């Protein structure tokens, strides 16, 4: 199992529309990726390690697939549409990491 994490850094002066992200972008991503995406979780940052500190990331999405190939096969045909929607909810350049889930 692999996890594709999409992280949006909490940067001063940047915008992130969580309402659009949750109601428009994420449902569109789920529809485009179909059954290849086994699980999709969205996190909204609330705070950092120290009480009252800002979160490092304003939002994160974690998408689970059976393999890197399964992800690439599902994402490839829709990459332009999915990535093209980003300006509708943020001006933050997402950080994308692919990880192997160990536990």
Record the pTM.
0.94
Whether the CB-CB separation of 6 and 94 falls below 8 Å is answered with: yes
SS3 content of the chain, % helix, strand, coil (to 5): 40, 30, 30
The pLDDT of residue 75 is: 98
At 94 the pLDDT is 98
Q: What pLDDT is attached to residue 98?
A: 98
Report the pLDDT value the prediction gives residue 7, as an integer from 0 to 100: 98
Task: Give the tokens for residue 1.
Answer: 């199992």
What integer pLDDT is reported at residue 84 of this predicted model?
Answer: 98
Q: Across the chain, where does the E strand assignment appear?
A: 2-9, 39-44, 57-65, 95-100
Burial of 82 (0-12, 13-18, 19+ CB in 10 A): middle
What integer pLDDT is reported at residue 91 of this predicted model? 98
Determine the pLDDT at residue 96: 97
Q: For the chain, which ranges sit under pLDDT 70?
A: none
- Predicted local confidence at residue 2, as pLDDT: 98
**For position 29, what pLDDT does the model report?**
98
The per-residue pLDDT for 16 is 98
């Amino acid at each position: 199992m692999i996890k594709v994490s999409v992280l949006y850094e909490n940067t001063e002066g940047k915008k992130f529309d969580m309402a659009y992200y949750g109601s428009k972008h994420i449902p569109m991503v789920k529809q485009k990726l179909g059954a290849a995406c086994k699980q999709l979780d969205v996190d909204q940052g609330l705070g950092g390690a120290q009480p009252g500190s800002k979160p490092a990331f304003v939002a994160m999405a974690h998408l689970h697939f059976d393999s890197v190939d399964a992800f690439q096969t599902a994402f490839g045909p829709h990459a332009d549409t999915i990535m093209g929607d980003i300006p509708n909810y943020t001006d933050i350049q997402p950080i994308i990491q692919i990880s192997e889930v160990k536990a």
